[in-house]
Structure 1
Amino acid sequence: MIQKFFDLQGASLRVTAIQPVLVDFFGRIFAGRSRPLPTAPLAFGLTITSGEPLAMPQGTDPLYQGPILDEGEACFWQAPQERVLAFPGVISLTLSDTAREATIIVAPGAEERIVMTCGQLALQAALLAANQFLVHAAGLTLPDGRVALIFGRSGAGKTTSTLALAAGGLGLCSDDAMACNVGGDRPIAWGMPRNLKVHRRTAEMLPWVKPLLSGEWSAEDERPVTLAALRTTVSVESIAAREIAAVFVLERSGETTSRCEPTSKAEVLALAAADNVRSTRVGVPKGERELFRRLGDLVRAVPAYRLSAGSDPTDLTPVMLAALNIEKIVA
């Protein structure tokens, strides 16, 4: 049995598997930063096995049944002591209702799916057990060391804007996933940097990105760019907790220049909740209600802005810094 530990910034997540490759796939979420022994109190345990994923028993009334993003059909149901999410024949996740434990069963050949919805939900459960929570947002460090969180609807240009802000001198924590903690005097966040998928339009808007791309254009007109390649041009931050300076709602302005101005906190919370909180046929699960509460605590604690990206994203960094009364990038 292989056992590794991942740092949750003050707590530990234990991942156990028979095959090292299964732990390694999950470790990609943390950029491979595992440890042989825990460095903080254990908050959660995840077991990953290879085999036949669970199937929803006949006659079960699902909490949800239908497609999930780009992963295909899924079913989510309540068992006597646990909740189960399954992509039939591919992968399943079992979350205990009482114990701080989860199990992933992945079909041979589908190991890449470990880092997708099932792995992300397991991570969310582990973070909630450690009094933290995961949000679908970009994170960039400011010259004063604090971090800006950026929420955006699908198609708002979050990856493009994140890369533009990083090229403007901000540090890249993550373009997609940030872990937050609102339990202390000041809310903090830490990112999970990962390889990015860059759309052809983004590469055209940011010419410096083109030489860094690898692979071929996908059916979605995207190519990957690795963190190693990005590090040659921008600052990719370490996995460390930083104070949250502000939250931003990203939108496309349709104008040439970008703008950044204060906005309603209710607007930020509505967008963040729509993109992060899941509901089922029988309402919002307890864990999702807790996530919504913590999102509310976060938005109340820091300033809120609307970041309107213009047709030339290279002006995003000075626009954001001006709104935050930070005059220039500190060398």
Structure 2
Amino acid sequence: MIGPEARFDLHTVELICLHEDLPPDVANAASLDWLVGERRIEMPGNLPQARLTIRPAGKEGLAVPAGLVEKPVVGEGRLRAGRAAEGHHVLVMDDAACLALLPGGHSLAEAALQADRVRPALGDAMIFALDHALSSHGQCLAHAACLATPDGSGMVMLHAASGTGKTTTAMALALAGFRLSGDDTTALLAPAESGRLLAWGLPRGAKVHRRTVDMLPALRDLVSDAAWDRHGEQMIDRTALHGAGLATRVGPLPVIGVVSLAHADDGAAPVVAQGAFDALDALMRDNISPHPDGFFPGQEARFDIFSSLVTAARCLRVPVRGHPSEVAATIAAALGY
């Protein structure tokens, strides 16, 4: 049995997501609504189409090609990657999900439903499939928060190594008049007719830590004392962010600034203008993974777009020092807001 289609307008491509014979709990894990639900549409549009099909693995288990190479990944997951005999790329996540990246942005995911880690593995597979669909149609994903400027004329990208304070700084900027487009993942595109790099944030909720709420008490009405997980985090859903006036649906908009957050060093200046090489290096460290066959699938386009980005936008390095509202004010002033 084939489940209903879900369609998402992703600005340069319409992604069609289809489930085959998945039980409800697994189908929920394989949904893209948590990541791009605001972009869901009910009827076909006029964009080129890519398709993602998710189905259970066969009785013999996952159909995994030989010769895959294991890649380091953040957290507890395990990722193996390589090319199948037919020439397309294959990613195997935690031995629970196998994703084939096909031409044209199409993807096929298989799930080993008996695996304990099928839910997080499928979540990872959905992100890779989304990245593949976008990179096949002129876009790329960056691990960065994305905020519209107070006047709505452009986007500011905010990136940092994990634990530096990216989400906390993004929320402080949102409270200072910027509007959150995406808290963790930004899509970049360079339309040929304009020659300008544009950005929009993937519209999921914002995952905040207890410490963030302690430092930014205006967020307290958006969280629940009963919802903190074992890491002291919880997700503020997108509806709540919109209701508080902290999020925006606008975009894509031109990128007017790229801010690299860094741990504060004694004596470091509050803001340092980054040259193109340093800005590109900082972006690559957090976004491009090495692979024995060269770039990982889709990362050639990512490198090209990042290279254009750091030469077209103002790039800043900002040490995270003092209260988040002070860091946000420093960034706003440096960008002229």
TM-score range relative to shorter protein: 0.7 to 0.9
Cα distance in 1, alignment partners of residues 319 and 78 from structure 2: 35
- Residue 138 of structure 1 deviates from its aligned partner by 0.5
* Kept after mapping to 1: 8 A contact 2:105/2:134: no
C-alpha deviation, 1:325, in angstroms? 2.3
Corresponding residue number in structure 1 for 2:138: 131
Q: Structure 2 stretches of 5 or more lacking a match?
A: none
> Secondary structure at 1:68's aligned position in 2?
coil
Instruction: Provide the residue aligned with 2:252 in structure 1.
Output: 241
Matched-pair identity in %: 26
1:47 pairs with 2:57: no
Residue in 2 that maps onto 1:272? 283
Which structure 2 residues correspond to residues 221-260 of structure 1 after superposition, within 5 A?
Answer: 221-238=232-249, 240-253=251-264, 259-260=270-271
One-letter amino acid of the counterpart of residue 148, structure 1: V
1:20-99 to 2 correspondences below 5 Å: 22=27, 25-51=31-57, 54-57=62-65, 60-63=66-69, 65=70, 68-81=73-86, 82-96=88-102, 98-99=103-104
* TM-score, reference length from structure 2: 0.85
Is the 8 Å Cα contact of residues 261 and 306 (structure 1) preserved in structure 2? yes
Alpha-carbon shift at residue 268 of structure 1 (Å): 1.6
Q: Does 1:169 align with 2:180?
A: no
**Is residue 207 from structure 1 mapped to residue 229 from structure 2 by the alignment?**
no
Q: Decide which of 122, 131, 139 is 2:129's aligned counterpart.
A: 122
Is 1:307 the counterpart of 2:318? The answer is yes
Work out the CA distance in 2 between the residues paired with 1:40 and 1:260: 44
**Contact (CA 8 Å) 1:261, 1:323: kept in 2 or not?**
no
Structure-1-length-normalised TM-score: 0.87
Partner SS for 1:61? coil
- Preserved contact between residue 262 and residue 317 of structure 2 (Cα < 8 Å): yes
2:12·2:138 contact (CA, 8 Å) conserved in 1? Answer: no
Which amino acid letter does the alignment assign opposite residue 25 of structure 1? S
2:46 is equivalent to residue 18 of structure 1: no
Does structure 2 retain, via aligned residues, the 8 Å contact 1:156–1:250? yes
What secondary structure is seen at the aligned counterpart in 2 of 1:31? helix
The answer as to whether partners of 2:105 and 2:137 remain within 8 angstroms in 1 is no
Task: Kindly provide the amino acid, as one letter, of the partner of residue 174 in structure 2.
Answer: A
Deviates more, 1:48-57 or 1:137-146: 48-57
Q: Is the 8 A contact 1:257 1:309 kept in 2?
A: no
Q: Gaps (5+ residues) in structure 1?
A: 327-331
How far off is 1:314 after superposition?
A: 0.8
Residue 5 of structure 2 is matched in structure 1 by 3
Q: Is the Cα contact below 8 Å between 1:4 and 1:37 reproduced in 2?
A: no
1:318/1:100 CA distance change after superposition, 3 Å: closer
How many residues of Structure 1 are paired with residues of Structure 2 in the alignment? 322
Contact kept in structure 1, 2:57 and 2:63, CA below 8 Å: no
